[in-house]
Amino acid sequence: MRTKSYAYWWCQIGGWLLYSITMVFFAFLFEQEYTHIFYSRVIISITTGFLFTHFMRELFIRLDLRPPTQKQKWVSLILIIFGICILYNLTNSALVELFRLYNPAKKVSLQKRFLGNLIFDSPLIFIWSSIYFLWHYVVLGRKTEIQKVKLETLVKELELKTIKSHINPHFIFNALNSIRALVDENPSMARTAITQLSNILRSSMQAEKLELASLEKELSIVKDYLALEFIRFEDRLGIEYDINESTLDQPIPPMMLQTLVENAIKHGISKHKKGGVVRVISDFKNNCHELIVQNTGNLNNELLESSDGFGLDSTKNRLKLLYNGKASFRIHNIDGGFVEAIVSMPIIEK
């Protein structure tokens, strides 16, 4: 932050000094007289320009008008720039009139002097604004590239963690044990369970290739996973879905919903002798796509500090990079002895 501030002040001071030197150079080029009036007007012009452009920058920051500027804010941006142009030239004209920095022989009214300044000096403000926004777009582009590299690195890391999480002896042992018990008892269900396990493993392997996947596809993986877990927990596991069908085509990070449901099973249902309920909810709320996983249990430090699979911190970082800070993740206890994990993401129009 301090480095950016230094860069701004150096550019601000250097830019206006360069403008004053340019004015002197062109005055010399066209053989104008170097009187105290000329130098006084140069000083007034660069001083007021320095102050008004700095004031304009503060307005851009306070009103969040820096790039990328939203469509509805362009009107405010243009009004501010034009307003600063008028104030800048009005102040210059008033100071010139106040200190009589003009040739008395040339009878020019304040109004004509103001209009003249407005025509010839206003481009300074527009040039300053253009340079300011161009600089921010360049910085924004550089940040986007850096974030893209970070995201690619994180996706690779998450993909490896996903595979490790889903192809670990504990998970395979439980799933195969459940399937083995069904082979003689219910061969048809055993075949279905094998297909479900295959779907989960295949999805884990493909997670590397995708940044986003449809909720419908991710929900099918979760249903396969919960179906396998139901074989293990039987009546101890209650499964509920409350899905707004309009959200099914919304893209979400692959395997993220799966991770939240795994946490619900591992840290919630499996800790209770009587089991509990896992509830998956998807809906639109406050102009966002809200994905919720609720489970019977109580939030504790074990879950918050867990590093298995994606991990809660990695999920937050993934959302931050994918949605540029416009998505959020939170987990907390709610009434009725439930833990609720909520992911809120921007709605993506198709």
Tell me: the pLDDT tens digits for 97-134? 888 777 666 666 667 767 777 777 788 888 898 888 88
Residue 154 lies in a domain: no
Task: Kindly tell me if the per-residue pLDDT of 336 is higher than 70.
Answer: yes
Task: Kindly tell me if the per-residue pLDDT of 19 is higher than 70.
Answer: yes
**104 and 9 assigned to the same domain:** yes
**115 and 195 assigned to the same domain:** no
Task: Kindly tell me if the per-residue pLDDT of 158 is higher than 70.
Answer: no
CB-based contact 197:228 (threshold 8 Å) = yes
**24 and 64 assigned to the same domain:** yes
Task: Kindly tell me if the per-residue pLDDT of 78 is higher than 70.
Answer: yes
pLDDT score, position 171: 61
**37 and 80 assigned to the same domain:** yes
Provide the token pair at 148. 């893209």
pLDDT confidence tier of residue 138, bands split at 50, 70 and 90: confident
pLDDT score, position 167: 46
| Boundary-marking domain end, from 94, 114, 147 | 147
Whose tokens are 């920058």? That residue is: 57
pLDDT confidence tier of residue 164, bands split at 50, 70 and 90: very low
**Residue range of the domain that includes 217:** 167-346
**213 and 331 assigned to the same domain:** yes
CATH number of the domain that 268 lies in? 3.30.565.10
| Boundary-marking domain end, from 147, 181, 197 | 147
Whose tokens are 């396969």? That residue is: 224
pTM for the structure as a whole: 0.52
Reduced 3-state DSSP string for the chain: CHHHHHHHHHHHHHHHHHHHHHHHHHHHHCCCCCCHHHHHHHHHHHHHHHHHHHHHHHHHHHCCCCCCCCHHHHHHHHHHHHHHHHHHHHHHHHHHHHCCCCCCCCCCCHHHHHHHHHHHHHHHHHHHHHHHHHHHHHHHHHHHHHHHHHHHHHHHHHHHHHHHHHCCHHHHHHHHHHHHHHHHHCHHHHHHHHHHHHHHHHHHHHHHHCCCEEHHHHHHHHHHHHHHHHHHHHHHEEEEEEECHHHCCCEECCCHHHHHHHHHHHHCHHHCCCCEEEEEEEEEECCEEEEEEEEECCCCHHHHCCCCCCCHHHHHHHHHHHHCCCCEEEEEEECCCEEEEEEEEECCCC
Cα–Cα distance measured from residue 151 to residue 322, given in angstroms and rounded to the nearest whole number: 7
Query: What are the tens digits of pLDDT across the range 271-284?
Result: 888 889 999 999 99
More confident residue, 98 or 242: 242
pLDDT confidence tier of residue 186, bands split at 50, 70 and 90: confident
**88 and 14 assigned to the same domain:** yes
**219 and 269 assigned to the same domain:** yes
Task: Kindly tell me if the per-residue pLDDT of 163 is higher than 60.
Answer: no
pLDDT score, position 304: 59
Residue 152 lies in a domain: no
**126 and 52 assigned to the same domain:** yes
**83 and 135 assigned to the same domain:** yes
pLDDT confidence tier of residue 32, bands split at 50, 70 and 90: low
**252 and 115 assigned to the same domain:** no
- What is the average pLDDT across 293-305? 76
Task: Kindly tell me if the per-residue pLDDT of 295 is higher than 70.
Answer: yes
Q: How far is CA 121 from the centre of its chain?
A: 38
Looking at the structure of the chain, the number of domains it has is 2
